[in-house]
Each structure stands twice: as C-alpha cells, then as structure tokens.
Amino acid sequence: MNLKIDAFTLCGPVRRINQDGILLHQEIITEGGLDFDVHLTAENPCVVAVADGMGGHLGGEVASGMVLASLNQFAG
C-alpha cells in the first residue's frame, strides 16, 4: 500500500516555543512541515503520531518530546 502523508506544526500565538510535535516514519517534527511518500509492507511499517503539548503549561514541549522519542525508539 502506498501512502502520501503531509504533516505540519507551528508555534501558537501565546508561547515562544512549539509544545506540539509529530512523529512521521522515524522523524520527529517540532516546527514546520514535511511531505512523505511511503510504501507500506510488513517489513516497512510506518508509525505516525501527534503529541500535543499540555495546554500551554510549562514543560509541554518536554512531555510531547518524551512521548515521541519513546514511540520512535519502540517502533525503530
């Protein structure tokens, strides 16, 4: 199966840093976007995840980054 995935994230109007992140086929995106074409097979799975910050609370970027890094390590 072939997939085309477009992902984009950016910092909102309140915070100076983006607390959100995207995991897309072993790449973590915290600012900007990425277009990705992937051919899925049993040997070539694709993990896609979105980690939302903590509603503007301090450390939201740390929490979302830890989740994405853990998923990436588990899937890798």
DSSP 74: H
Domain boundaries defined on the chain? 2-75
Q: 3-45: per-residue pLDDT in tens?
A: 898 889 988 787 788 889 999 888 899 888 888 888 888 888 8
Tell me if residue 38 falls in helix, strand or coil. Answer: strand
* pLDDT exceeds 80 at position 55: no
Nearest to 51 by CA among 26, 76, 28, 17: 28
Give the CA angle between residues 9, 46, 72 to the nearest 5°: 70
Token look-up 């588990």 returns 74
Q: Could you tell me the pLDDT band of residue 56, with boundaries at 50, 70 and 90?
A: low
34 Cβ contact list (under 8 Å, min separation 6): 6, 7, 8, 22, 24, 27
Query: How much is the pLDDT for 60?
Result: 87
